Each structure stands twice: as C-alpha cells, then as structure tokens.
Amino acid sequence: MKKISAISALALVSATGAFADDLNVVCSTEQAWCDMMVSAFEEKHPDIDVQMVRKSTGETLAQVRAEAGNPKIDVWWGGTGDPHLVAAEEGLSQPSGVSTDGLLDWAKNMSDISDKKTVGIYAGALAIAYNADVLEEKNIAPPACWSDLEDERFKGEIQVANPNSSGTAYTELATFVQLFGEDEAFVKLASIGENVNSYTKSGSAPSKAAARGETGVSIGFMHDMVKLATQGFPLIPVAPCEGTGYEVGAVSIINGARNFDGAKKWVEFALSADIQSRSPEVGVFAVPSNASAKVAPQSPDLETIKLIDYDFATYGSSATRGRLLERWDAEVGSKAN
Amino acid sequence: MKRTVYAWLLLGLMSFVFLPWHMTRDGFTSFQWLNDGSPSSGLFMVLEASNWWLIPTGLAFVASLLVQFFVAAPVARAKITLAIAVMGLFATVLQGLVIVVNGPRAFTGLLSGEIVQAGQQSMGIGAAVCLISLLFAFSVSLSQSGKGQGDAFVTSTIALIISLVAVFVFFPVMHILIRAFEVDGSLSLIGFFPRFFSSEIWGLNCLIGAGSCGPAINSLILATMTGAGTTALGLSFALIFTRTDFKAKKLLRILTVLPIITPPFVIGLALILLFGRTGAVTEFFAEMFGMEKTRWLYGFWGVYFAQMLSFTPIAFLVLIGVVQGVSPSVEEASQTLDADRWQTFRYVSLPLMRPGIANAFLLGFIESIADFGNPLVLGGNFSVLSTDIFFAIVGAVASPTKAAVLAVALLTLTLSAFMLQRMWLGKKSYATITGKADSGQNAGLNPVLRFICYATALPWAALTLVVYSMIIFGSFVKLWGYNHSFTLDHYIRAFGFDFSRWRFTGVAWDSYFTTLSIATIAAPLTAIIGLATAYLLVRQKFWGKEAFEFSTMLSFAVPGTVIGVSYIMAFNFAPIELTGTSIILIIVFVFRNMPVGVRGGIAAMSQLDKSLDEASITLGANSFTTVRRVILPLMGPAIMAALTYSFVRAITAVSAVIFLVSARHNMATSFIVGRVENGEFGIAIAYSAVLIITMLTAILILQGLIGVRRLRRTDRVQPSA
Amino acid sequence: MNNSINSNHHGEVRFENVIKRYGNVTALKGLDIVIEPGKLVTLLGPSGCGKTTTLRLIAGLEMASEGNIFIGGENVTHLTATYRRVSMVFQSYALFPHMTVRQNVAYGLTVKSVPKNEAYQKADEGLELVGLAGFGDRLPSELSGGQQQRVAVARAIVLEPEVLLLDEPLSNLDAKLRRHVREEIRQLQQRLGLTAVYVTHDQEEAMAVSDRIIVMNNAEIAQEGSPADLYERPASSFIADFIGDANLVNCEVLSAENNKGEVMLAGTKYAVASDGMTKGDAKLVLRPHALELLSPDHAGLKGEVSYAAYLGREMQYTIDTEVGQLFAIAPVRANSFAKGDTVSLGINENLARIVKA
C-alpha cells in the first residue's frame, strides 16, 4: 500500500469501489505479516496496486459466501486451512494453476484434496502452553502430554476454545480422535473438561489468557504461543508426548475474481522460498511450505514434534465435522458450567 | 406547491435523459462516463440498448409533467400526479429487482427474453435521482390531494424516511431473517417453530441450579439488569448535575462521556488487568486480606460489570436533557403544597422524568442485548445471543439458519421490551415546557437522595478514572501487565510522522483518516434522520405510526454481525451495489445509530408542549420553519446527544463493520480488533488512546457550536439545606 | 397560494355543515356558523362541548371530516394552518421560551420574510399597543403572567390577521386581572376592527366581551345570539341554566297563545312569555331577581329562608319551597329577612319565561 499524503487523505471518502487493475487481497494472518507481504509483492510487481484488508478466516468465509457471484475479493491469503477447504468444497474458490512442485507434502496434500483450489503456505502444530509463573506459584508440575491434562492438579486451570466456534479447537478435537480413536477421544476430552475453566469462543483467546496468567494452561497453535513468549510473557509451549495434529495455512483464489492474473501472481509469490523465508522478520514462526525456505530457529521443529498424519479430507468434510461436534456437545460441552 | 412538484418532475426527467442510469465502473464523480462513448442515461438505454423496461420510468415523468400543464383543478391535478408517481415508482423498483445481471433475482418467471436474461448492471446515479424525484413528486402531491394530510414537508419527510428504512433496514435484514424459515430451500413455518422454541435457546436450567440457561434467557437477564442498572446510575449522574452544587461537575461530565468513546475490547481488557485472576486489584486483595484469586470476572458478573461501565453514559445522555427539562415551577408548586423535597422528587419530578427513564432503559436493554465485545472478552462459559449469532456466522460450523433463528429470538426480546416501555409510558402527557414561561428554581435533592446519588455515582466515576488511567498507562509501556518500562514505540509505529519528507509513516493513519471522514459524514446525517423521525412520531399523526416506530428501532436491535452480513447479501448485487465503497459504511452507521437520535429526540420533544408548534404554525410558519426556529433551538441537548453519539458510534462500532470494510476503506476498530487478535495490545491501546482524545476534542467542539438552550435567564438550584 | 381576498367577505368566517370525527367519536355534528366581519363572537360551553375543536378548525390545526369552511369568502377547508390568515392566542400563551419578547412578537413577520428591522419595528408597535413598550429585550420567563398574556396577544395581532382566535386567553390570570385584560382585549378588537373568535367556559366573561355568543353543547350549537338574547330569551333549560343564574322549576302550561303562556305553579296561575310553547309539562325559568320576597301574609308561593347573605349592594337568599329550593337576590332594605323566616314569594312575570321541560 502506498503511503498516503495529508491531502489525499481528505479525498479518501469516495464512492468508488474496486478498480480492475487493483488486486484485492484479504489477509487472515497477522497484520505485520500481511503488511510485509504487500510491500514485498508491490516491490516485485510495481504495476499491480494491492488493496489489502485483514479479516479473520471466519469473517472472510462469511463474506465470500455472501458475495458469491459478484465477489469483491480476488485472493484470500493465510489463515487456517479448514475454511479454505470449505470454500473450495462450496465452489467459492477456483484453481490457481500455480505449480506445487517444491512444496512439502502437507502443502501438496492440501492442493490435492481441494481439486487444486487451495494450497498450503505454512503449518503450525497444535500444542499445550502453560504459564510458568502461575504453575510455580501454585506448585503444579507442568504438563508434558495430553493425558496429563486429565490430572486433578489442573482443576480449573485449563482453558481451551469451543470447537463449535473455533477452528483451533476443532483441530484439537479431530487430533484427539485420530490419536486415540473416537470413543477414547471423547472420554479423554470429557475428563479434561473437568479441569477446564471455560470454553472460549475464539481459538487464540486461551493462550492469550495463559500468557497473562488468567489461566494456567491453554491449548492452541504453537506458533501463536511462541510469539507471545517472544513478547516477554512467561508462556512455555509444550509439544504433547502422544503426538499432535497441525493446521495448514492456505491461499485461495476466489471464484469470479476480477483480477485473476494478479491473483495468480500473488499465489506464485506467496509460495516462493524467498518470501516464505522472511516471515520471522515480523515475528511469525510457523513452518513454511516451500521446502527451500529457511526456517527460523525459534520455529517449532516439526521434525522433533511427533506429528500425526492429519487426515484433512476426512476431518475437513462437513459430515464428519457435524457428527463430531454433535457428540462433543453431548458428551463434553453440556457438562461445562 | 405546484412549483415544487414541477421542479422534482423536471429534475427526474433531466436525470433520466442525461445521467448514467446504471452504476459506472469508475464511480460517478470521476466523470469518466461523460466521454467513454457508451450509452448510459435511461433514455439512451431505451433507445440504443433496447432496455424497454425503463420506458415506464421516463413515461411517468413526461405524463405527470403534462398533467401539471393541462389539469387546472389543484386537487385533481395532485391526485393524477400521485397515481402516476406511484406507478412510476412501482415499475422502476420492479424492473430493478427482476432484471439483474447476477445475484438473486425476484419473480424469476415474470419476464423472459434474451435481453432480460442478459440482465443489467446495478442502479446508478440516474436511477437514484429518478427514484427520489418520483418519491417527492408522490409525497408533495399527496399533501395537496385534499383532506389536509399535513403539509408537503411532513408528507415528504414521512415518505423519505419510510423509503430509507425499507431499503436500508428491511430489505437487507430480510435477506438473513428469512433463513430462519427455510427448510430445504423452501419456506416453512413448521420448520421454524421447533427451532425457535428449542431449549437450546430458551433453556431455564440455571434458574433451578441445573447447569446453564439458553442464550436467550441469559441475554434477557443480563439486558434487564443492565437496562435497570444503567438507568439508575445515569439518573444519579443527571441529578448530581442538575440538582446539586457538586463542585467537580466538569470532571464528572468528561468521565461520563469516556466510556462511550472507548473502542470495543478496551474496557474488557482493562478490567481483566484490574480484576482478573492476576489483575492489580485482585493481587492487592490477595496480599492484604489473603483472599483467594478467583476468576469471577469471567461470566455473568464480569459482562454485567463491563456493560455498566460502558452503557451508563448513554442513559445519562438521554436523562440529562429530560431532567433539565422538568420545569422548576411544578417543583415549586409541589413544595408550596407542603411536600418536602423527597415527596416532590418522588411524586412530581420523577413521574415527569418517565419518558427519559423509559427511553434510557430501552436503550440500555437494547445495547446490552446487542453488545458483543464485552461478552466475547469476559463471557467465559456464559453465552449470550449476540456472541452465539456471531459464531453461528463466522464460527467453525457456520449456520445461517441458526444465526437467523437466534436473531429472531433477539428481536423478540427487543420487541417485547419496546412494547412494555410503551405500556408503561401510556398516553400521559409529559410536557413541561409549555410556552408559559417560568423562572423558578429547581428543587434541590433531599439529603438521603443526595447521599444515594453520590454513593452510586462517585465510585463509578472513580472506577472509570482508574480504568482510563490504566489505558493511558498501558499505551506507554512495553508490555502491559508484564514489562512496564516506558516506551513511545506504540505511538511511533501507529502514528509516526516523517517531518523530513512530510509523510505519514505510521501504520494507523490510513484507517484513522477514513474513520474520521466517515464518522464526520455519518453523524449529521444520523442526527437529521433520527430527529426528523422523532418529530414525526411525536408530532404527526399518520397511519401505521406504531409499526413505523418499531421499524426504526430494528436496525439497532439487530446484532451488528447480522447487519454486516445482510448488508453484503443485499448490497453486493444489482439493483443496489454498494459493497467495497465508503457509502455502505456511512449508510450502515446512519441506520444503525439513528434509533439513538430517535429515542433522545422523542424524550426531548415530548417535553415541548404542542401549543408551541401550533402557535408557530398559526403565525404562518410551515412545518419546516417551525422545526428549524422553534423545535430545534429548544432541543439543544437532544441534538448534541444525537450528534455526539452517532459520531462516536461510527468510530467505535465493530461487529457490523468487520464485514463491510475493504482495503480502500478500512476502519479504526477493525484495525484495533485485528491487533488485539494478534496479541499486539500495545499498539491497539495506543490507537484507542488517540481515538479517545480525538473524540473528546470533537465533542468539545460540538458543544461549543451547539451550546445550551436558553429557557431561563439562569438555571438555578436551591442551595442545599 | 392564490389567496385572492374578496373584500366583501373580508374577515368573515363561515362553516357549512362541518362535521368532525375522531375515530368513532363525533366532536362536531354538522355545524353551520357565520361570523360577521369586525365582530367578536364567543364560543361558550361546558368542557367537551366542541368549542375548542371549532376554534382549531378555524385555525386549521384540525381538518374537517366533512363540510366546508370559508374565511374571507375563500374556501379554506383543505388549507393547513400555515396558509390561513388567522392568528391564535393560546391558553398557555405558547411563547417561545428561547426568544426574547420582541423576537416572539416579530416571529410571524419574519417567517413571512419581512426584513428584520421592519419586523422588529412592527413588533415594538405591537408591544406598545398592548402597553408593553420597552419590554422587548426581556425573555418571557422574566414577565408576569398578565404581561406574557399581552405578549401573546401582540404576537397575534401584529400579523393583521383576518381573524383573531383566542382560546381561553384569561384562564391563567387571577380574577381582578382577568376583568382588566378582557376589557383591554375588547377595546383593542373594536379599535382595530378585528374579527375575533373567543373560546371560554366562563359565561360572565363571554357576556362581558361578546357581540354575539354561540353556546355549544354535545357537539352542536345549543343557541346563539347577543348576550341579552341569551339571557332574556333562553331557548332551553340548558341555556337558561348556563347563561346567568336561574331557578328552573317544573310547571304545567295550561294554555299558550300570542306568546303568552298561562302556567300553574303551586296553585297559583302566572302569565309569562312562552315563545311557541304548547300545553303540557314545561320548565319555568326564574332569574334570581325575578323573585320578590314578601312577608308571609302576602299571597303567593310560601317558603322558608334557609340561607341569607349580606353582600353590600344586595342580599342573597336561598328559600325552601314546595317546588324546590329557590335562589333569590333582593335589594338591601331595612326589613331584610333572616334565616328561618317564613316568606311569601312574588314572581315578576315580565322577567320569567317558560322553556321545554
């Protein structure tokens, strides 16, 4: 985005909507990362004027749905993969035609199960985090495994999001099912539920609460936790010993995009090793999807974390999702007070 | 009068012939359409592009202009013009809904043919001017068609507001509410009732101590308590202002304004830092008294606490005008009848404040029920309708049907509150400014009452002061809550300015300027429409007035998320395509905040005796002059409240806006929420602090411009005994 | 507007079968009135009789449900108040509290785009006319009730309206001021030759100011005429009772011819004016001063004084008789009666009338 001068600021309020030569990007990751992407892209493609706005994945999906048929967005970059897959399933996005050679398997997988409509750009593992100060003060031994969370000692100290509203929490639910088998998973979730102080609406809220000591332990994505820790909060991320699931951040071109060419250039750019290597500059520690991209030392090392073979096709489908959530409501959610 | 109709018709015809009928790619103001060579005006579309469906519109103007020349009898002329204008409006709206290039199409089977199927772009400036001209030709003719339906100003205002509410409230909201009745693609009441009366929505378990209640019951309890609490507290403040000689009124005044001008999430955040499990106050009590650090803030009480902080000022704004308006002479009359100060207050002043109290309660109730930021931050497991609706739309499992059903539940609650308020107010007169001037002293408060007012309002004020000191503090430290070393980084990142290049380098400038410009445009529009509506409701009689009144409340009562999504559904396609523009933001603010203007206006106007209007009218002034010279000057506080509130809400609104902001027109709150989501509290709070200061300045300027109304030479309060 | 003023009818107000309904309630049942130019006509009646509705119909603040209204010969039925050349003085005065006295008086002129200087000059003239010269810069709240009332009158007359409407203009004033102000209003009206329509429920006030009184009851005209007509020749017991004090006594008309009726009251025959009455039951209207108190040895209706009051110029008596309690006024004389005295009542036949029962 071009820096605006004082005079042009006055002319901001105009009746004009989208211009054809502009590339309209919705960015669903962190603002700083979004800003960096835009300026780097405009540097490389000076002829394209990028209009970028940041919205969360849920908001973006709702907007894309409502605008279907006459979209105002060209490309949707970032944010957890589930909504991107939903958009693909509902025909709201279209194949970009950009080659996925040189990407890691999980990123290609994303492209394959969505008929090439969305591609993975980064991955983040699901993890547990705890506030070191709080646990120390209360004399509670930190957790190392999912099953530790069932222990009495965490009574009222665990915070996790509600999978009905949060994609993060749904990833956790699906991870449990894939790790332990469905029935066992719900038994575990219910007994962890005994220790949960609240099921938040937003997926990133538990880790933020844990960072400030409002809760002792949270479940969320590891790269968010790392970011909070680098800001100075006493938050320690833990990769559970049983293994864990992960999310894949994705990029999609919206079906009916006015500027398809520009959007395609954006996808090519977003998948390139150069730009993916630069994300730590803005404090992003997710794992890049391009095999040649440099990985920051703070990033969770996916090699050392026991990652499960997350089945996005099955657990991303509406049918499975509906069934699991219904069961979650009945066996876990309803017991929350 | 004949000339007025004539002027509108001529304007309509001109725009049909010359202005581009459809939306132009680069916008109207670029004037690209003048020389891009393609046919554009309505007339051209008919002649060159065979858009035969535009013929009735053009014909309506020609026909009614001919009527102006050839029909001499005024009443007959008006009636014929009226009929033609109605037909013209109908034909124009119908073609717009039926013949569209993409998106939903009404009455699919109605018209066919190749050109029809190809559709047309959205309506542009030409169509808009034509429709407005037809509307005013209709309303002015209506006023002249005999039987004295009021003057042209009144009929035109009614017609305009009804049309606006229909287009910008009903039309979009219907898009989503209709989903509540949808079963497998068709509409069904049978499908709706089980969904609506589900115990998941209306569960009463919490009352019998067996788990949690449904969100509707939670919302109802919360809203009732917030409405009552904010009204009581607001009244306390209003009484301190008008009936005591409290010394620090100015400071108090600023404190009562602060929460309104605070961006969402900030109060919740500050409360967590104070009263959360590791909050400063909690720590203090834990150390001093060994009290256990609990998470009481997360749940009903936390939300209630935050809402009391956030919404009391709204109650205050409504009540202050009403409390000031209670005529001293009735209080003096009461005292001369040997009533003491308490009795005077209880039996005379308080009943006269009823409209204010009722309106303040209704606003508090609705605000609470639609509030989404506080329950999100502090709700914990306590779920309310507004957050459930939000997540039904944007959550992991999006269900428009569920969102719609919940929205209907929310509207049901609002409608009930509205009805109750109407019943309570009844048909009594609350006029205290009668035109028979008085110059007495307002009765002071009796000691007990004064004590109660101080005892409730002052702790609240102190708490507000603390919360805001925390916010300012938070914007100057590295990591709020953990690393309290001083820094200006947040301000520099957000509002940096490079003096050497004369450039705004901060990341927030962009959204800051957009927000200010949009709020500046939206505020006066909101105030005008709100007060005009209040004028119609209080002073004019017309058919369907009650339904009209409720419909003006609708946009306020519908949660922002629903409004946001329904605006995209309605205004992303022909005939009206506004998404991605700043206009849609202005419109959403105007119609969302208009009810505050309406409520405040009604409360203030019911204190003005009708004989003042009538005196003005019998002295030869028309309704417009009467409004301008008699009513408006007497409504200073209400205008002030409407302007302030709509300006501020346009800056602090979040839920509706999230869906409607675009890269070109991003808003401050959407920026702040994004930062909060990413855990960048420093910059979010610094931005909030700048916004608060901006709004405070704007309010002071407004106050200077509008001033206070002059009813008596001095407003005096009896010295307290 | 094409208000061509027909000079023959200037200032005339005419109602032709005007009906006003509010929902199911009929506030006026077909009214026909003519108010002559330059006259002060009072609409008099108990509350709810329709007098205020009639006034508001003239003003244009209410619209007729049926019928036609003419002002100055022009049909104004569908004109709103703004466009009628009438001014109104409100019961509450309706002074604009945020304007000074001068701005209030000049208001009607300024909305008609009269230049401000001229409007203020006329306003000052108007204030002088009502005796408030020099009060122009004050706020209404700084005036007494009587002064506010006069400002309201000044505001109405500076517009030189065709018709001046006054809605209970004196009801907010004390009794002494009331008499003073009503004289002023009457003098002003006569001096300026204004047509004025005056609404009141106070019959004394009505008699004092009016050229003609229209008495209304139950949404229609009960009787109209000059104050003397109404007092001396009431057409019904309602009018007789409403206009001035009257004793209404049941009686029987024995015969009636040549406008004289012979009535039988407590065994005595009297011959009184009877405007078209026929034989049968009727009411005898006895004004208090038509009764003469005589010593019991005189012939006539016998009674006992139950109340006697000395009022300086006259005595007031209440007398219990076989036809009911009667109220009488008699000049103060040496041989006044006292409570408990038995008296014989003489009836001045010239002052008595019979009306329908």
Task: Tell me the per-residue pLDDT of A301-310, one tens digit each, with 9 for 90 and over.
Answer: 767 778 888 8
CA torsion, ordered B222, B227, B228, B231, to nearest 10 deg: 150
Instruction: Taking the CA atoms of A109, A113, A117 and A122 in sequence, report the sign of the dihedral they define.
Output: negative
Say if residue B637 is preceded by a cis peptide, omega within 30 of 0.
Answer: no
The tens-digit pLDDT sequence of chain C (357 residues) is 344 444 567 788 999 999 998 878 888 988 999 999 999 999 998 888 889 899 999 998 888 888 999 998 888 888 888 888 899 998 888 888 888 999 999 998 988 888 999 999 999 999 998 888 889 999 888 888 889 988 999 999 898 898 999 998 888 777 778 888 888 889 889 988 889 999 998 888 898 899 999 999 988 898 999 998 888 888 888 888 888 888 888 888 888 777 778 888 777 788 888 777 777 788 888 888 888 888 888 877 888 999 988 888 888 899 998 888 889 988 887 677 888 888 888 888 888 888 877
Taking the C-alpha atoms of residue A51 and residue A20, their distance in angstroms, rounded to an integer, is 11
Per-residue tokens: B230: 């904010």
Q: Which residues contact C181 (CB under 8 A, 6 or more apart)?
A: C146, C149, C150, C169, C170, C173
CB-CB contact of C232 with C200 (8 Å): no
Q: What is the mean pLDDT of residues B119-146?
A: 84
- At B708 the pLDDT is 53
pLDDT band at A16 (very low <50, low <70, confident <90, very high): very low
Q: Classify residue B549 as left (phi > 0), alpha (psi -120 to 50) or beta.
A: alpha
Question: Domain limits of chain A?
Answer: 20-124+247-294, 125-245+317-335
Taking the C-alpha atoms of residue B305 and residue B307, their distance in angstroms, rounded to an integer, is 5
Q: Which of residues 73-92 of C touch B (CB under 8 A)?
A: 77-84, 86-88, 90-92
Using CB atoms, pick whichever of A167, A214, A234 lies closest to residue B272: A214
* Sheet (strand C13-22) strand order: C25-35, C13-22, C66-71, C74-75
* Chain A residues within 8 A of B20 when measuring between CB atoms: none
Using CB atoms, pick whichever of B151, B625, B712 lies closest to residue C141: B712
- The amino acid that residue B654 corresponds to is V
- What's the pLDDT tens digit per position in B270-319? 888 888 887 888 888 888 877 777 778 888 899 999 999 888 888 887 78
Nearest CA in chain B to A24: B663
Task: Pick the closest to residue A34 from B678, B580, B665 (CA basis).
Answer: B678
**Residue A201 pLDDT greater than 80, yes or no:** no
* Chain B residues within 8 A of A10 when measuring between CB atoms: 513, 517
Question: Quick check: C97 and B617 CB within 8 A?
Answer: no
Query: Which other chains touch chain A, taking contact as 3+ CB pairs less than 8 Å apart?
Result: B
3-class secondary structure, A247: strand
> Chain C closest CA to B718's CA: distance in Å?
18
Taking the C-alpha atoms of residue B77 and residue B147, their distance in angstroms, rounded to an integer, is 14
* Chain B residues within 8 A of A212 when measuring between CB atoms: 272-273, 276, 278, 481-482
Taking the C-alpha atoms of residue A18 and residue A53, their distance in angstroms, rounded to an integer, is 13
CATH code given to domain C7-232: 3.40.50.300
CB-CB contact of B44 with B89 (8 Å): no
Using CB atoms, pick whichever of C83, C98, C141 lies closest to residue B634: C98
Q: What is the mean pLDDT of residues B313-331?
A: 77
Pick the CATH number of A20-124+247-294 from 3.30.110.60, 3.50.50.60, 3.40.190.10, 3.30.70.1400: 3.40.190.10
C288 membership: H or E segment, kind and range:
none
Question: Domain limits of chain C?
Answer: 7-232, 245-356
Task: Sort B343 into a burial class: Cβ within 10 Å, 0-12 / 13-18 / 19+.
Answer: middle
Taking the C-alpha atoms of residue A133 and residue A234, their distance in angstroms, rounded to an integer, is 7
Provide the pairing of β-strand C220-225 with C212-217.
antiparallel
Question: Quick check: C148 and B619 CB within 8 A?
Answer: no
Q: Which residues contact B519 (CB under 8 A, 6 or more apart)?
A: B589, B647, B648, B650, B651
* Fold exhibited by the domain B212-466: MetI-like fold (1.10.3720)
pLDDT band at A94 (very low <50, low <70, confident <90, very high): very high
- Cα distances from A336 to residues A183, B269, B300, in angstroms, run 19, 24, 15
3-class secondary structure, B680: coil
> Chain C closest CA to B403's CA: distance in Å?
43
Instruction: Taking the CA atoms of A320, A322, A325 and A331 in sequence, report the sign of the dihedral they define.
Output: negative
Separate counts of helices (H) and strands (E) for chain C: 8, 20
Q: Which residues contact A206 (CB under 8 A, 6 or more apart)?
A: A159, A160, A161, A200, A215, A218, A219, A220
Task: Pick the closest to residue A50 from A35, A62, A65, A67 (CA basis).
Answer: A35
pLDDT band at A54 (very low <50, low <70, confident <90, very high): confident
Measured in whole angstroms, the distance separating CA B59 from the mean position of its chain's CA atoms is 38
Return the residue matching tokens 């959403």: B588
Question: Quick check: A51 and B662 CB within 8 A?
Answer: yes
Would the CATH topology of B212-466 be identical to that of B509-677? yes
> Chain A closest CA to B116's CA: distance in Å?
18
B709 at C interface, C-beta within 8 A: yes
- At B430 the pLDDT is 64
CA triplet B53, B56, B60: central angle to 5 degrees? 160
Taking the C-alpha atoms of residue A274 and residue A43, their distance in angstroms, rounded to an integer, is 13
Q: Which of B79, B436, B540 to mutate to test the interface with C (most CBs of C within 10 A)?
A: B436
> Chain A closest CA to B659's CA: distance in Å?
6
- What's the pLDDT tens digit per position in C261-301? 888 877 778 888 877 777 778 888 888 888 888 888 887 78
> Chain B closest CA to A182's CA: distance in Å?
20
**Residue A110 pLDDT greater than 70, yes or no:** yes
Taking the C-alpha atoms of residue B610 and residue A157, their distance in angstroms, rounded to an integer, is 63
pLDDT band at A99 (very low <50, low <70, confident <90, very high): confident
Question: Domain limits of chain B?
Answer: 2-149, 212-466, 509-677
Taking the C-alpha atoms of residue B125 and residue B131, their distance in angstroms, rounded to an integer, is 10
Q: Over B456-508, what HEC string results?
A: HHHHHHHHHHHHHHHHHHHHCEEECCCEEEECCHHHHHHHCEECCCCEECCCC
Q: Which of B579, B585, B685 to mutate to test the interface with A (most CBs of A within 10 A)?
A: B579
- At B595 the pLDDT is 79
Question: Quick check: A228 and B679 CB within 8 A?
Answer: yes
Beta bridge partners of C252: C264, C281
Nearest CA in chain A to B585: A13
Question: Quick check: B517 and A164 CB within 8 A?
Answer: no
Return the residue matching tokens 């901001």: A12
- At B2 the pLDDT is 65
Q: Over B156-217, what HEC string results?
A: HHHHHHHHHHHHHHHHHHHHHHHHHHEECCEECHHHHHHHHCCHHHHCCHHHHCCCCCCHHH
Pick the CATH number of A125-245+317-335 from 3.40.50.20, 3.30.2270.10, 3.40.190.10, 3.90.380.10: 3.40.190.10
CATH code given to domain C245-356: 2.40.50.140
B124 membership: H or E segment, kind and range:
none
* Domain B509-677 grouped into CATH 3.40.50.300: no
- What's the pLDDT tens digit per position in B243-263? 777 777 778 777 777 777 777
To the nearest 10 degrees (0 to 180), the angle between helices B545-557 and B152-165 is: 40
| Of residues B600 and B34, more confidently modeled | B600
Q: In chain A, what percentage of residues exceed pLDDT 90? A: 34
B106 at C interface, C-beta within 8 A: no
**Residue B673 pLDDT greater than 90, yes or no:** no
- The amino acid that residue C41 corresponds to is V
Per-residue tokens: B217: 């019951």
Question: Quick check: C90 and B614 CB within 8 A?
Answer: yes
pLDDT band at B721 (very low <50, low <70, confident <90, very high): very low
Beta bridge partners of C269: C264
Query: Which residue pairs from B475-480 have beta carbons closer than 8 angstroms and sit at least 24 positions apart in sequence?
Result: B475/B682, B475/B685, B475/B686, B475/B688, B475/B689, B477/B682, B478/A232, B478/B682, B479/A231, B479/A232, B479/A233, B479/B681, B479/B682, B480/B273, B480/B681, B480/B682, B480/B685
pLDDT band at A14 (very low <50, low <70, confident <90, very high): very low
Q: Which residues contact A282 (CB under 8 A, 6 or more apart)?
A: A30, A32, A33, A35, A36
Asked if A touches C (at least 3 Cβ pairs < 8 angstroms), the answer reads no
* Chain B residues within 8 A of A224 when measuring between CB atoms: 679
Query: Which other chains touch chain C, taking contact as 3+ CB pairs less than 8 Å apart?
Result: B
Per-residue tokens: B143: 């006023």
Provide the pairing of β-strand C247-257 with C280-286.
antiparallel
Nearest CA in chain B to C110: B621
B148 at C interface, C-beta within 8 A: yes
Count CB neighbours of B716 within 10 A: 12
A328 at B interface, C-beta within 8 A: no
Taking the C-alpha atoms of residue B618 and residue C59, their distance in angstroms, rounded to an integer, is 7
Count CB neighbours of B646 within 10 A: 27
Average pLDDT, chain B: 80
Query: Which other chains touch chain B, taking contact as 3+ CB pairs less than 8 Å apart?
Result: A, C
Beta bridge partners of A43: none
* Chain A residues within 8 A of B510 when measuring between CB atoms: 1, 4, 9
A248 membership: H or E segment, kind and range:
strand A246-254
Count CB neighbours of B73 within 10 A: 9
Q: What is the mean pLDDT of residues B601-605?
A: 79
Q: Which of residues 590-609 of B touch C (CB under 8 A)?
A: 609
A247 at B interface, C-beta within 8 A: no
- At C163 the pLDDT is 92
pLDDT band at A2 (very low <50, low <70, confident <90, very high): very low
Task: Pick the closest to residue C167 from C266, C43, C29, C250 (CA basis).
Answer: C43
Per-residue tokens: A85: 């897959």
- At C165 the pLDDT is 93
* Chain A residues within 8 A of B565 when measuring between CB atoms: 62-63, 66
A53 at B interface, C-beta within 8 A: yes
- At A117 the pLDDT is 92
Question: Quick check: A233 and B661 CB within 8 A?
Answer: no
- Cα distances from C353 to residues C240, C244, C326, in angstroms, run 9, 14, 16
Using CB atoms, pick whichever of A15, A167, A199 lies closest to residue B27: A15
